[in-house]
Amino acid sequence: MCGIVGYVGMRASQDVLMGGLKRLEYRGYDSAGVAILSTDGGLLAHKRAGKLSVLADDLDSRPLSSGTTGIAHTRWATHGAPTDANAHPHLADGGKLALIHNGIIENFQELKAELVAGGEEFLSETDSEVAALMLAREFRTHSNLTTAMQAVVGKLEGAFTLLAVHTDAPGVVVGARRNSPLVVGLGDGENFLGSDVAAFVAYTQKALALGQDQIVTITPESVSVITFEGDPVTPAEFTIDWDASAAEKGGWSSFMAKEISEEPEAVANTLRGRLGADGVVTLPELDVLFAGDATISRIIFIACGTAAYAAMLGAYAIEKWSGIPVSVELSHEFRYRDPAVGAGTLVVSVSQSGETMDTLMAVRYAAEKGAKTLSICNTQGATIPRESDAALYTFAGPEVAVASTKAFLSQVVASYLLGMYLGQRNGVLGESESKKLADDFDALPAQLEEMVETGPRIKELAGWMADTRSVLYLGRHVGYPVALEGALKLKELAYIHAEGFAAGELKHGPIALIEPGQIVFVIVPSPRDPSSLHSKVVSNIQEIRARGARVIAIAEKGDAAVLPFADEVIQIPLASSFMEPLLAVVPLHIFGMELAGAKGLDIDQPRNLAKSVTVE
């Protein structure tokens, strides 16, 4: 959830830290703060409730003193309301130590009681202040910030990333992580820490990803990593494959608008180098799944939110193309029902950030039970791909808007590639069908460009629906996950009731919701495919229209059967059944964004949400 940045080097740390927070604000925007070790040996800190702009305005009028070492934080509240007092950093040791925290300390009540009994005074309602006061106490004992951190983390339970500085340890930032992300940026005479690489990509594209239960100490000239037990570690270095400009708006009205415009490119990047014109899929990163003649007899997708809907689309394709049974489960439900997994089961996690805590814990559970694990992820160096047996990166580029768009499409495409790979490996997907799919994929980016260009018309529709209180979405087969995705975007962005239904369920209850004027989006399958259920969906449209619904149909060009029964038709290019949902979802992404805009809401930072959910 929260965004954290650490810096030590030769630059003015306030500039580095605030720039990093700006690129990380999608992780939390309830409050923000910075702490800097000043050149005169003191510690200066300032924090404010509200979005980052509140803190930025304060610092513009009253800059902190110069210093080249510091830490910074943007918060998504878990313990304690978003107030100035609960904002990070938390100070201790008479104002000489500052600490920031991402995650939840589950045993904080017990630790707080111990600290209060020892005479410590708390100034906030957060669990994070417990760690600050404990670290200050250990520093007074050890006089070494790394050793003090090691003593503290052994007593904490839960999920946490901690960064700290102390006036008696100038030019040093110490961090620790358990079940929460932390990466290191490697510079020349400077080093960085961040929740993800966006924190420092403006300065370096060389990075290290910390493993579970590790402590890192950075100075301008060195990076050292140890385990919580004190054993030295040498993390693997990786190169960030995008630069800071990719995380800037670049003249767009919102990050979401920019990212929707990048959907065709995201799909092309996910396909690049993996699918030949002959239809052969090349995914050498998956070879490890078949080491020692291992076989896959069952696949379980685990994901949350938008990623789960992408997995649902993938499941349809994989089962058809490979003949392997596939199911999709919500990560936060999966491990708590004691599922039967083991040898022969492939558990595929889908997560844009690779840090989704529910999904990470489900992956660990599956691995403990003996299943193979594969991560579909967009973020290099993230925890889930590093802890999985194999990783299939989507290469969608940074996604800053909280509501996912281009990542959704790239996750679907990666899942489709997995299905083709398994089908070809199993001898189920033949050469002619593979070649046809390759042709479909080749046409897809240009078709997506065409759908992005429907934006002005969708904006008009959203304009006259600004006072709408409820929108329903219907779809069948691959249209059903699209209906769910469209409804989720409206909930996230416009804060109105929205539900997606399998159209076949309509007469089993949901049709009771239909009343005159009720807006219903219907994802209509192609009439060219005899198995597409087109006639049944048109019948559904007639049923709801007869009861006064206002129907907006998303249908392919030339579908005359739907025209007499729809109030509005958004046309998509002719495509195969598994490509249609990728085209149909684009106007739904645009609609959610434009309806939020018509209501004057924050498109990139919807209330109560953060981009990466790193707590359960």
Q: What is the pLDDT of residue 209?
A: 87
Helix (H) or strand (E) holding 384: helix 383-387
Closest CA to 613 of 204, 179, 175, 20: 179
433 vs 279, 387, 525, 579, CA distance in Å?
8, 34, 20, 14
Dihedral angle over CA of 9, 11, 14, 20, nearest 10: -80
The predicted model scores a pTM of 0.86
Q: Give the least confident one: 17-26, 346-355, 469-478.
A: 17-26
Mean pLDDT for the chain? 94
Asked if residue 283 belongs to a domain, the reply is yes
- Using the 8-state DSSP alphabet, how is residue 373 labeled? E
pLDDT at 103 over 70: yes
Angle of the 263-271 helix axis to the 431-452 helix axis, nearest 10: 160
Same-domain status, 81 and 109 = yes
pLDDT for residue 77: 79
291 lies in the same domain as 397: yes
- Whether the predicted pLDDT of 51 surpasses 70: yes
Of the listed 96, 258, 489, 611, which one is catalytic? 611
Mean pLDDT for 400-428 is: 96
Predicted confidence (pLDDT) at residue 242 exceeds the cutoff of 80: no
| Predicted local distance difference test score (pLDDT) of residue 1 | 67
Query: Are residue 412 and residue 505 in the same domain, yes or no?
Result: no
Residues 6+ apart with CB under 8 A from 315: 299, 301, 326, 327, 328, 415
**Residue 406 appears among annotated catalytic residues:** no
**Cα-Cα-Cα-Cα dihedral sign, residues 380, 385, 389, 390:** negative
Tell me, yes or no, whether 616 lies in a domain. no
Axis-axis angle for helices 580-598, 263-271 (nearest 10): 150
Stretch 26-55: mean pLDDT, rounded? 92
Q: Which two tokens stand for residue 521?
A: 């989006």
Share of the chain above pLDDT 70, in %: 99
Strand order in the sheet with 568-572: 497-502, 470-475, 519-523, 550-556, 568-572
In this structure, are 190 and 273 located in the same domain? no
d(CA 348, CA 275): 20
Q: Token digits for 267?
A: 């799909």
The burial of 336, by beta-carbon neighbours within 10 Å (0-12 exposed, 13-18 middle, 19 or more buried), is given as: exposed
DSSP state of 387: H
**DSSP-assigned states of every residue in 199-263:** GTTTT-SEEEE--TTEEEEE-SS-EEEEETTS-EE-PPEEE-SS-GGGGS-TT-SSHHHHHHHTH
Percent of the chain having pLDDT more than 90?
85
Residue 612 has pLDDT above 80, yes or no: no
Examine the pLDDT at 307 and tell me if it is beyond 80: yes
CA distance 17 to 164: 14
429 and 521 in a common domain:
no
Residue 68 and residue 41 in contact, taking contact as beta carbons nearer than 8 Å: no
- 215 with 67, same domain: the answer is yes
User: How far, in Å, CA of 581 to CA of 473, rounded?
Assistant: 13
pLDDT above 70 for 407: yes
- 3-class state of residue 593 by DSSP: helix
pLDDT at 615 over 70: no
Lowest mean pLDDT segment, chosen from 239-248, 256-265, 384-393: 239-248
For residues 176 and 145, the answer to whether their CB atoms sit within 8 Å is no
Give the model confidence (pLDDT) of 478-508 as tens digits: 999 999 999 999 999 999 999 999 999 988 9
Q: Closest Cα to residue 219, out of 69, 351, 113, 374? A: 69
Q: Which of 205, 224, 247 is the last residue of a domain?
A: 247
Average pLDDT over residues 265-285: 95
Same domain, 438 and 526: no
DSSP 3-state of 176: strand
pLDDT of residue 241: 81
Same domain assignment for residues 443 and 553: no
CA distance 275 to 435: 10
Which of 2, 112, 304, 406 is an active site residue?
2
The pLDDT confidence band at residue 614, using thresholds 50, 70 and 90, is low
Question: Which residues are within 8 A (CB) of 563 and not within 5 positions of it... i.e. 6 or more apart?
Answer: 569
pLDDT on residue 587: 97
Q: Which domain holds residue 501?
A: 455-598
Q: Is 47 a catalytic residue?
A: no
Is residue 231 domain-shared with residue 303, that is, in the same domain?
no
Total domains in the chain come to: 3
Mean pLDDT in residue range 416-432: 96
Of 247, 281, 301, the one marking the end of a domain is 247
Q: What is the mean pLDDT of residues 309-333?
A: 97
Structure confidence at residue 286 (pLDDT): 95
| CATH number of the domain residue 306 falls in | 3.40.50.10490
Domain match, 543 and 587 both: yes
Residue 612 lies in a domain: no
* DSSP letter for each residue of 478-493: THHHHHHHHHHHHHHH
Provide the pLDDT confidence category of residue 616 given band limits of 50, 70 and 90.
low
Q: Does a structural domain hold residue 279?
A: yes
pLDDT exceeds 80 at position 112: yes
pLDDT (tens digit, 9 = 90+) per residue, 208-225?
989 899 999 999 999 999
Closest CA to 585 of 600, 570, 596: 570
Contact (CB, 8 A) for 106 and 59: no
438 and 460 belong to one structural domain:
no
Residue 248 pLDDT level (bands cut at 50, 70, 90):
confident
Closest C-alpha to 242, from 223, 259, 222, 225: 259
pLDDT at 101: 96
